[in-house]
C-alpha cells in the first residue's frame, strides 16, 4: 500500500486569470453557436441563452455593482436557491474582483447574521421575499451591510439601470486588475465546535480544479455535447465547481433548477447527459424504483435484478468475461428493469456524479451494473470541492479515485488523509490560529478524515477523526451545539446527535433518573417508575421536544433534529460510551445502540 501519491500531469493557471476568464475563453471558442445556460421560465419550459447573451448579462450586472460602490475585495452575499441569476452574479462578482459570500438558502436569519458580520458583507442578493425578510430581521445588527436586492423584484434590472453611468473603460480596467491569487469567495463551513468558519478560496484554487476536471473527466464534462441539470445549492463548492466546468467547456449546457419538486419532470424535459447529486438523490431514485416494483412477483423480479446488477458491476470492474448465463440474465433484466430505471434520469443520461457524502457500495454497484457510469469524488470546502475523483475508464467502486493532475495525497502515521495542491485554500477569515492548525509543519492540509491508498494511488475513505456529521443529503452538521441545548432539559442526562450517512438528523436521549424522580410527580406521575416505563411516556417526550425545538431554532431545517429516541439505558464507562473523563464516545454509541438506530430512529420503509 502506498502512503503518498502525486498524480501525473500539470494544470496551468496564469497569474492574470480569474473565474471570469472561463467565460471569456468560452466566448472566443463558441460565441453565439452554442447555448451555455437554460432557465426555467414556466412549468416544463426552458429558455435557451447563448454564451454571448449570458456574457452581456454578466457585464451589465458588473457595471451595476460598480455603480453601487462595490470595490475590489468587497464582500457580497448571494442568499438564494440555485437559479439563473445566481450564475450571473457569480461571474459578475468575479469580473470586478469582489468576493462572493454564498449562504445556503435554508440557513436561518441568525446564521446569516453571523456570516454578514464575520465577512463584513457590504451588499446582499436574495431570491425571494421570504429570504429578504430573513435578512431584514438582522440587518440592523450588521454594520457593514448597506443594501439588499431581490431577484424576484428585478434586482438585475436595478443593476442595469445603475450601471448605465459606468463606462466600458472603467469596467475593463477593473477586470484587468483581478489576479489569480485574489480571494474569489468565502464559503462558510461548520467547525468542530459548531462555530462557522469562512474558507477563503482564490480564483487560482477554483481554476486549478476546474481545469483539472477538463483533463481528468473529459468524457463527462467536455465530450459529446454535455448537458447538466444543476439543482444542488450553489452555496456548496461542489455545485460551484461543476457550474464552472460546464460553462468553461466548448458547448456544455447548464440548466439551473431552483425548485426540485418537479425534478423528475424537468429531467425528462431537459435531457441531461450527466447529473450531479448527493447520495440521498440516488437513494430516492432507487427507493422509488423499489417501491414501484412492490412486494409481489414484480418485487421479487426487482430484487433479483438488483443482485444481478451488482454481480455484473463486479465482473466488469475486475475485467473478467461474463458467462453465457450471466449475459442472458443481464439482457433479460435490461429489458424488464434497468432501462426503466435509467429512463427516470432522462433518455440521454450517461454519467451520474456523486459527492458531498459517502455513497454506499451496494448502491454504487447497482447503478454501475445497470449501465450508468458512477463518478465518485472526495474533497472539502477547503479544496474548492473535489480533490480526488474516479475516472470514467478507471472506476473502482469503494474508492474515490486519484488526485487531480499535479496534486498530492498522503496518509499520515495515524491514518489521517493529508492533501497538497493548487486548489487548497489560503486560510480561514479572521482565524489565523485555526488556519495554522489546519496545516502540518511541511504545508500539507490536515483533513481530519481517515483513509488509505491502493497501489495505483486511489483513495479509500475509512472514517473521520472529527465529529462533524455528514447526512446522506451532504449537509455538514456540528452536533455539539444541538446536544448542549437538548441536554439543558432537566430530565435529560445525555443527548447524542446522530445522522452520519442517514437521511436526516436524529438524536439518542438518555434520562437523568434523579431529576426524573423529582419531575414525574409534578406531572401527577409515580416518582418510582422504572426507566423503561418513563422512557415511553408521552409526557417525557413532550418535555424533551420543547428543548429539541429550541435547538432547531438556531439552525436550518437540514441541520435540525427531526426525530429522537429516548433510551431506557445509560451511557457508561462500562459499556464504552463514556471515557474516564466522561466524554461521549460517539462511534461506540452508534454501535451499542445500533438496533435502536435501525428500528426506531430510522425505521426502514415497508
Q: Is pLDDT above 60 for 333?
A: yes
Q: How confident is the model at residue 58 (pLDDT cuts 50, 70, 90)?
A: very high
CA 359-256-422 angle, 5° bins = 60
- Taking the whole predicted model, whether its pTM rises above 0.95 is answered as no
Q: How confident is the model at residue 191 (pLDDT cuts 50, 70, 90)?
A: very low
Q: How confident is the model at residue 192 (pLDDT cuts 50, 70, 90)?
A: very low
Average pLDDT score, the chain: 90
On whether residue 548 sits in a domain, the answer given is yes
On whether the CB atoms of residues 102 and 185 are closer than 8 A, the answer is yes
On whether residue 389 sits in a domain, the answer given is no
SS3 183: strand
User: Can you name the residues that pair with 40 across neighbouring β-strands?
Assistant: 46
Q: Is pLDDT above 60 for 199?
A: yes
Measure the N-to-C terminal CA separation of the chain; round to a whole number of Å.
42
Tell me, what's the pLDDT at 361?
82
Number of independent structural domains in the chain: 1
On whether residue 362 sits in a domain, the answer given is no
In angstroms, the CA 517 to CA 533 distance is: 12
561-567 and 505-511 beta bridge pairing: parallel
Residue 404, CB-side half-sphere exposure with 13 Å CA sphere? 30
Q: Is pLDDT above 50 for 193?
A: no
Tell me, what's the pLDDT at 581?
44
Tell me, what's the pLDDT at 194?
42
434-to-117, 193, 196, 335, 496 alpha-carbon distances in Å: 19, 12, 12, 55, 26
Nearest to residue 44, comparing CAs of 338, 262, 213?
A: 262
On whether residue 242 sits in a domain, the answer given is no
Q: How confident is the model at residue 48 (pLDDT cuts 50, 70, 90)?
A: confident
- The three cell numbers of residue 139 are 440587518
Burial (CB < 10 A; 0-12, 13-18, 19+), residue 403, is buried
Convert 32-41 to b/e letters by CB count within 10 Å (16 or more is b).
Answer: eebbbbbbbe
- The three cell numbers of residue 459 are 483513495
On whether residue 361 sits in a domain, the answer given is no
What is the number of helices (H) and of strands (E) in the chain?
23, 26
Nearest to residue 602, comparing CAs of 461, 491, 498?
A: 498
Identify the helix (H) or strand (E) that includes residue 496.
strand 492-498
Length of the chain: 606
Residue 259, CB-side half-sphere exposure with 13 Å CA sphere? 11
On whether residue 511 sits in a domain, the answer given is yes
Tell me, what's the pLDDT at 605?
54
The 8-class DSSP code of residue 9 comes to -
At 499, which CATH number? 3.30.300.30
Where would I find the beta strands (DSSP E) of 293-365? 351-354
pLDDT, tens digit, for every residue of 234-273?
998 999 999 999 999 988 999 999 888 888 888 888 999 9
Q: Is pLDDT above 60 for 6?
A: yes
In angstroms, the CA 25 to CA 245 distance is: 12
Q: Is pLDDT above 80 for 592?
A: yes
Tell me, what's the pLDDT at 580?
45
CA 23-247-384 angle, 5° bins = 95
On whether residue 257 sits in a domain, the answer given is no
Report DSSP letters for 557-594, one per residue: GGGSEEEEEEESS---TTTTSB-TT--B-HHHHHHHTH
Of all residues in the chain, the percent with pLDDT exceeding 90 is 65
In angstroms, the CA 429 to CA 184 distance is: 13
On whether residue 121 sits in a domain, the answer given is no
Q: Which domain holds residue 564?
A: 478-601
Amino acid at each position: 500500500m502506498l502512503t503518498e501519491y502525486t498524480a501525473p500531469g500539470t494544470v496551468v493557471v496564469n497569474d492574470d486569470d480569474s473565474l471570469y476568464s472561463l467565460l471569456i475563453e468560452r466566448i472566443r471558442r463558441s460565441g453565439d453557436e452554442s447555448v451555455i445556460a437554460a432557465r426555467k421560465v414556466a412549468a416544463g419550459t426552458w429558455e435557451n441563452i447563448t454564451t454571448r447573451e449570458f456574457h452581456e448579462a454578466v457585464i451589465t450586472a458588473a457595471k451595476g455593482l460598480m455603480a453601487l460602490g462595490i470595490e475590489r475585495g468587497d464582500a457580497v452575499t448571494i442568499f438564494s436557491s440555485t437559479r439563473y441569476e445566481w450564475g450571473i452574479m457569480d461571474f459578475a462578482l468575479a469580473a470586478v474582483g469582489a468576493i462572493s459570500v454564498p449562504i445556503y438558502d435554508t440557513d436561518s436569519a441568525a446564521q446569516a447574521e453571523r456570516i454578514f458580520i464575520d465577512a463584513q458583507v457590504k451588499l446582499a442578493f436574495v431570491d425571494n421575499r421570504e429570504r429578504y425578510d430573513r435578512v431584514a430581521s438582522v440587518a440592523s445588527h450588521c454594520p457593514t451591510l448597506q443594501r439588499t436586492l431581490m431577484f424576484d423584484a428585478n434586482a438585475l434590472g436595478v443593476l442595469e439601470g445603475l450601471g448605465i453611468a459606468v463606462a466600458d473603460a472603467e469596467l475593463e480596467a477593473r477586470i484587468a486588475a483581478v489576479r489569480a491569487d485574489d480571494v474569489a469567495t468565502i464559503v462558510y463551513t461548520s467547525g468542530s465546535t459548531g462555530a462557522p468558519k469562512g474558507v477563503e478560496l482564490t480564483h487560482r484554487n477554483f481554476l486549478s480544479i476546474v481545469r483539472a476536471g477538463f483533463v481528468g473527466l473529459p468524457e463527462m464534462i467536455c465530450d459529446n455535447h454535455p448537458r447538466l441539470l444543476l439543482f444542488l445549492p450553489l452555496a456548496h463548492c461542489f455545485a460551484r465547481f461543476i457550474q464552472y466546468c460546464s460553462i468553461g467547456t466548448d458547448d456544455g449546457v447548464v440548466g439551473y433548477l431552483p425548485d426540485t419538486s418537479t425534478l423528475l419532470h424537468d429531467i425528462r424535459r431537459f435531457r441531461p447527459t450527466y447529473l450531479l447529486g448527493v447520495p440521498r438523490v440516488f437513494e430516492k431514485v432507487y427507493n422509488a424504483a423499489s417501491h414501484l416494483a412492490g412486494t409481489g412477483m414484480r418485487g421479487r423480479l426487482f430484487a433479483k435484478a438488483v443482485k444481478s446488477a451488482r454481480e455484473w458491476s463486479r465482473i466488469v470492474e475486475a475485467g473478467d468475461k461474463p458467462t453465457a448465463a450471466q449475459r442472458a440474465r443481464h439482457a433479460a433484466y435490461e429489458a424488464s428493469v434497468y432501462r426503466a430505471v435509467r429512463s427516470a434520469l432522462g433518455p440521454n443520461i450517461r454519467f451520474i456524479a456523486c459527492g458531498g457524502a459517502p455513497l454506499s457500495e451496494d448502491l454504487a454497484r447497482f447503478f454501475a451494473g445497470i449501465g450508468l457510469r458512477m463518478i465518485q469524488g472526495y474533497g472539502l470546502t477547503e479544496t474548492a470541492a473535489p480533490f480526488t475523483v474516479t475516472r470514467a475508464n478507471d472506476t473502482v467502486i469503494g474508492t474515490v479515485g486519484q488526485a487531480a493532475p499535479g496534486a498530492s495525497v498522503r496518509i499520515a502515521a495515524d491514518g489521517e488523509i493529508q492533501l497538497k495542491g493548487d486548489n487548497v485554500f489560503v486560510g480561514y477569515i479572521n482565524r489565523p490560529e485555526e488556519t495554522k492548525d489546519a496545516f502540518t509543519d511541511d504545508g500539507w492540509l490536515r483533513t481530519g478524515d481517515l483513509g488509505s491508498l491502493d497501489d495505483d494511488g486511489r483513495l479509500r475513505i475509512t472514517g473521520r477523526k472529527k465529529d462533524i456529521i455528514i447526512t446522506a443529503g451532504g449537509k455538514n452538521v456540528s452536533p455539539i451545539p444541538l446536544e448542549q441545548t437538548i441536554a439543558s432539559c432537566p430530565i435529560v442526562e445525555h443527548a447524542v446527535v446522530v445522522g452520519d450517512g442517514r437521511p436526516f438528523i436524529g438524536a439518542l436521549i438518555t434520562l437523568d433518573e434523579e431529576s426524573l424522580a423529582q419531575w414525574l410527580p409534578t406531572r401527577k406521575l409515580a416518582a418510582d417508575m422504572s426507566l423503561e416505563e418513563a422512557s415511553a411516556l408521552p409526557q417525557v417526550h413532550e418535555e424533551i421536544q420543547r428543548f429539541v425545538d429550541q435547538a432547531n431554532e438556531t439552525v436550518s431545517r437540514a441541520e435540525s433534529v427531526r426525530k429522537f429516541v429516548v433510551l431506557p439505558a445509560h451511557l457508561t464507562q462500562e459499556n464504552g460510551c463514556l471515557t474516564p473523563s466522561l466524554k461521549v464516545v460517539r462511534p461506540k454509541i452508534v454501535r451499542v445502540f445500533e438496533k435502536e438506530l435501525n428500528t426506531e430512529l430510522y425505521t426502514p420503509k415497508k
